[in-house]
């Protein structure tokens, strides 16, 4: 399967809305993180310091990031077995494998069955 990536040129975004989570820690400090970007987390003595540090860190990182939209083309129907029919028709080992499976299925020999496995 070949996927053609037709990516449009990126356009600068004017705003990015994120959710800032502020947590009061047991030691009295505050942790601030961004819900949508869990890797961004800071701790500070005050709530305001934590938010300010988080904003500064995030804005600095965003200055090096480019966001690109990509519309992934999806198949409208799931694959069926017919799409795979005949994939082994030219495989020289396939007939031998099928013959061996057929012999094992039709064999009355049960020496390979471990009776302790069944109750």
Q: What is the DSSP string of 41-66?
A: EEEESSHHHHHHHHHHHHHHHHTT--
Question: In this predicted structure, what is the pLDDT of residue 67?
Answer: 78
Q: Is 74 a residue whose pLDDT tops 80?
A: no
Hey, what are 46's tokens?
A: 């005050």
37-48 pLDDT tens trace: 989 999 999 999
Question: In this predicted structure, what is the pLDDT of residue 109?
Answer: 72
Question: In this predicted structure, what is the pLDDT of residue 102?
Answer: 86
Hey, what are 22's tokens?
A: 């502020």
Question: In this predicted structure, what is the pLDDT of residue 112?
Answer: 67
Name the pTM for this structure.
0.49
Question: In this predicted structure, what is the pLDDT of residue 84?
Answer: 78
- Say what percent of the chain tops pLDDT 70: 78
Hey, what are 84's tokens?
A: 């795979």
E strand map for 1-119: 20-24, 30-34, 37-44
23-35 pLDDT tens trace: 999 999 999 999 9
- The DSSP bridge partners found for residue 20 are 34
* Residue/partner pairs of 86-90 with CB below 8 Å, 24 or more apart: none
Question: In this predicted structure, what is the pLDDT of residue 73?
Answer: 79
> Does residue 20 contact residue 54 with C-beta atoms inside 8 Å?
yes
């Amino acid at each position: 399967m070949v996927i053609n990536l037709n990516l449009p040129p990126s356009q600068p975004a004017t705003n990015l809305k994120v959710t800032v989570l502020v947590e009061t820690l047991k030691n009295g400090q505050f942790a601030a993180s961004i819900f949508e970007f869990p890797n961004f987390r800071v701790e500070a003595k005050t709530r305001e310091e934590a938010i300010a540090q988080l904003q500064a860190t995030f804005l600095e990182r965003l200055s090096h990031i480019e966001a690109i939209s990509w519309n992934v083309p999806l198949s409208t129907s799931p694959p069926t077995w017919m799409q795979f029919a005949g994939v082994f028709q030219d495989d020289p080992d396939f007939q031998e494998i099928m013959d061996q499976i057929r012999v094992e299925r039709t064999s009355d020999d049960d020496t390979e069955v471990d009776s302790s496995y069944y109750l």
